[in-house]
């Protein structure tokens, strides 16, 4: 988590139940409630940023498939991935032109 040198105050309203849960969780992790909340917000923002980057990459790859008409059959992709998981270095499967 990166810390910015500039900061501002934002007010959030928490139910008493959530406030108690945060205080308990913060105490268990050895943090102040304030620190716990900041870390939780930063973590959630990072997750959303990663998801947005994933979606952008998926859209770009799909656009490439549509433009080129080439893709790797699932059977070949799966075999390649299984070999990689087994620690092997198989050649990447060659993309094939999709059949219409």
For 70, list phi and psi in degrees, rounded to 5. -105, 140
Same domain, 79 and 95: yes
Look at residue 25 and tell me if it is in a domain. yes
In this prediction, what percent of the chain has a pLDDT beyond 70? 93
Same domain, 64 and 86: no
pLDDT score of 3 more than 90:
no
Same domain, 62 and 31: yes
**Span 32-40, average pLDDT:** 97
Range of the domain at 96: 69-100
Same domain, 43 and 81: no
Contact call for residues 32 and 26 (beta carbons, < 8 A): yes
**Span 19-28, average pLDDT:** 98
What local confidence, expressed as pLDDT, does residue 4 receive?
57
> Which has more pLDDT, 50 or 6?
50
Same domain, 52 and 98: no
Same domain, 63 and 19: yes
Helices (H), the chain: 16-28, 33-68, 74-85
In angstroms, rounded to a whole number, what is the distance separating the alpha carbons of residues 76 and 1?
Answer: 39
Q: What is the pLDDT of residues 37-84, one digit of tens each?
A: 999 999 999 999 999 999 999 999 999 999 999 999 999 999 999 999
Look at residue 6 and tell me if it is in a domain. no
């Amino acid at each position: 988590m990166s810390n910015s040198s500039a900061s501002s105050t934002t007010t959030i309203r928490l139910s008493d139940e959530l406030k108690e849960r945060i205080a308990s969780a913060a105490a268990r992790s050895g943090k102040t409630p304030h620190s716990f909340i900041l870390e939780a917000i930063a973590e959630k923002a990072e997750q959303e940023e990663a998801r947005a980057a994933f979606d952008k990459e998926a859209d770009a790859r799909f656009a490439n498939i549509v433009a080129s008409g080439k893709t790797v059959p699932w059977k070949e992709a799966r075999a390649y991935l299984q070999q990689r998981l087994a620690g092997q270095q198989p050649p990447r499967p060659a993309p094939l032109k999709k059949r219409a």
